[in-house]
Structure 1
């Protein structure tokens, strides 16, 4: 079993190393690289993640879960993805680049669910065995960021190499996936209805007022979240921060540390306090970014990045726990798929369009007015927080901590 866990950990490491190798610095490459993309074009490239998240249930649920072994689908998707990543690295026009990235994310986003499925299917006690395996993924993301910073690709304007690094790692994982434990389709997946596959049977959860408030708040809070993913790296590089991608990996370090403390915190604070603290952390993070700089205000930048653990774990992981408790065993999987589609799909899709428009609005010939740019998502997050505090009413719940995505 230890050998199996190590193999699954290696899978997770590569899975998130690939994502962290290019996604963090994508905005900087588009803005400062040879494509000289506008803020709206940056947003268009990032929304490929949201479209991939929306399409993923169709691909995994309708094809992979019904007809093919999960590890073989994982292998094929990553090998095809390697080709598209390499294509993105040599694209000379934004349209060609965007097509490669869109195609890639349509292939990559389903692999997140596939990797989780492969891991959990080969665990006797997933709630205890999965977190250490999933942490290997966070380590992979961290190492990718540190490596980019150490190699100095941001300062030397060689960020096209990040796509080639991701392509190499994707090819490696594709070949490695063929050696993973056999994970055939489940009989219940073959017989599942389209509604169950897409998580539509989880719509009944919205009959609960408290869950409806949580659901809408989850979509709304993903709007300011898009600003962080899309424009933090260009912002840090605009300020002249060296090794910005490596610095951003501190966010994943805090995520891992807080994940270990989640059982203790959740049992003592309860659902509402955890969710509210997560949203409040987004307000604080963007305020710190608005007033930080590469000089005397550098500590504010670091503080905003380190807050990622609270921003992500307190809201998204607590939300997974809350959803699990409301759904019950029968609708657990479909409910998790439903909330993921709503947040990473719908919420971040809206956020990607809005973030590009806001950055363009505050961009002049003199450059970007980052203070006003960051105050905008801070204000959105504050409105969501206040509305949540007034409208959300629910009894404290306790549950085992769910793994992050």
Structure 2
């Protein structure tokens, strides 16, 4: 890959995740402060990510892989996305906001696969080259958070009270327009399938890999993947609102510690995985979810603020040790025939079904523990997902069995 293409792909990946990080992190705080949304209404908005993940395979499989170059449909989706972002910026009511955010997530989630497709198409050795490109996505997410907190100060208590958090949608919209236009100068990535080729619904959704569930261990892993996404949804939906509400300064910027942690533990994961195997690695990831939420439950913005920082920093272990090691395990169990469909099935189970359930549960718990004066019982709101994560940890520890070292370390 020549340097010009590398720079283009890196810029593409930076903007892709800069857009997402520009508005999604502060979304819970925006909905509560600007649109006075209830917990259930907030859950419905966050659930649009899950619906987008469920619908995305149809867009990729039926349209992008068959009729248009990936870079062209990437550009089209982001330009339309910029228009929807502007409408979200102007929305003053949750009923007006919801259709726009739903439409946006249906269009945005497929772009996550499209940027990967454009990147892989230019690589001779993806295992070595992709991580160098993908890390710019994490840097884009971090950059968005730092701008919001330390440059624009949109998440400060005063700015939030003045409704300035809506500017995050404007920033995301501008970045989306830039990426949309830039996409048309990306390297050509023609469709892989021919228009006459039949593609089944089960193939698009990764359902061909359902036969892997006949393996008891894989079935336990599959169910655990869905269940662990319930506490994960609490973090996405409540973390920024929680930090803002209890008076933590620059909450969005401080939450980028989680992405820095993600990069560091991603480098450490292969060593841990090779030494301790799959089961122990994924158990560490599950336990980290329970610990981080316990830190959130008992931390505060004063003398125990270090617990909140530690909880945020655990994001790298929570995400990498569970999700990345799970992808490696799925790849090893699937075999050549079902590699792609198996990964699609796990993505559908986690970001689709698991997160959809999780956001609904998080919304219900938030409404249930809202005090009479309108404040939240944050201790209980975090203790409950900590308990869920601990139960999943115990079930997986008892039921999952590493049959051989080869299975555990492949």
TM-score, normalised via structure 1 length: 0.97
Indicate conservation of the 8 Å contact 1:39/1:357, yes or no.
yes
Indicate conservation of the 8 Å contact 1:321/1:400, yes or no.
no
Q: Please state if 1:19 is matched with 2:20.
A: yes
CA 1:197–1:188 in structure 2 vs 1: closer, same or farther (change >3 Å)? farther
Q: Give me the whole-angstrom Cα distance separating, in 2, the residues matched to 1:194 and 1:90.
A: 37
Match of 2:326 in 1: 319
CA 1:59–1:204 in structure 2 vs 1: closer, same or farther (change >3 Å)? same
Q: Please state if 1:59 is matched with 2:59.
A: yes
Match of 1:291 in 2: 298
Q: Give me the whole-angstrom Cα distance separating, in 1, the residues matched to 2:341 and 2:220.
A: 19
What's the offset of the Cα at 1:318?
0.3
What's the offset of the Cα at 1:399?
9.6
Deviations 1:59-101 (A, max 9, x none): 1111111111100010000000000011001002111111111
What's the offset of the Cα at 1:361?
0.4
Q: Give me the whole-angstrom Cα distance separating, in 2, the residues matched to 1:49 and 1:180.
A: 26
How do 1:155-234 residues align onto structure 2 when only pairs under 5 Å count? 155=156, 156-157=159-160, 158-187=164-193, 190-234=197-241
Q: Give me the whole-angstrom Cα distance separating, in 1, the residues matched to 2:409 and 2:123.
A: 16
Q: Give me the whole-angstrom Cα distance separating, in 2, the residues matched to 1:152 and 1:92.
A: 21
What's the offset of the Cα at 1:397?
4.3
Indicate conservation of the 8 Å contact 2:22/2:141, yes or no.
yes
Select which of 229, 237, 248 maps to 1:241. 248
Match of 2:93 in 1: 93
Q: Please state if 1:396 is matched with 2:397.
A: no
What's the offset of the Cα at 1:400?
9.9
Indicate conservation of the 8 Å contact 2:278/2:409, yes or no.
no
What's the offset of the Cα at 1:398?
7.2
Q: Any unmatched runs of 5+ in structure 1?
A: none
TM-score, normalised via structure 2 length: 0.95
Indicate conservation of the 8 Å contact 2:52/2:105, yes or no.
yes
CA 1:104–1:72 in structure 2 vs 1: closer, same or farther (change >3 Å)? same
Match of 1:369 in 2: 377
What's the offset of the Cα at 1:58?
0.7
Q: Give me the whole-angstrom Cα distance separating, in 2, the residues matched to 1:228 and 1:298.
A: 17
Q: Give me the whole-angstrom Cα distance separating, in 1, the residues matched to 2:406 and 2:233.
A: 29
Deviations 1:243-294 (A, max 9, x none): 1000000000000111112221211111001100000000000000000000
Between stretches 204-213 and 260-269, larger displacement belongs to: 260-269
Q: Please state if 1:351 is matched with 2:358.
A: yes
Between stretches 37-46 and 279-288, larger displacement belongs to: 37-46
Deviations 1:4-26 (A, max 9, x none): 12211111100000000000000
Q: Give me the whole-angstrom Cα distance separating, in 1, the residues matched to 2:170 and 2:188.
A: 29
Indicate conservation of the 8 Å contact 1:271/1:397, yes or no.
no
Match of 1:120 in 2: 120
Q: Give me the whole-angstrom Cα distance separating, in 1, the residues matched to 2:71 and 2:179.
A: 11
Match of 2:264 in 1: 257
Report how many aligned residue pairs link the two structures.
400
Q: Give me the whole-angstrom Cα distance separating, in 2, the residues matched to 1:336 and 1:41.
A: 31
Q: Give me the whole-angstrom Cα distance separating, in 2, the residues matched to 1:140 and 1:337.
A: 25
SS class of match (1:178): helix
Select which of 288, 300, 306 maps to 2:307. 300
SS class of match (1:66): coil
SS class of match (2:5): helix
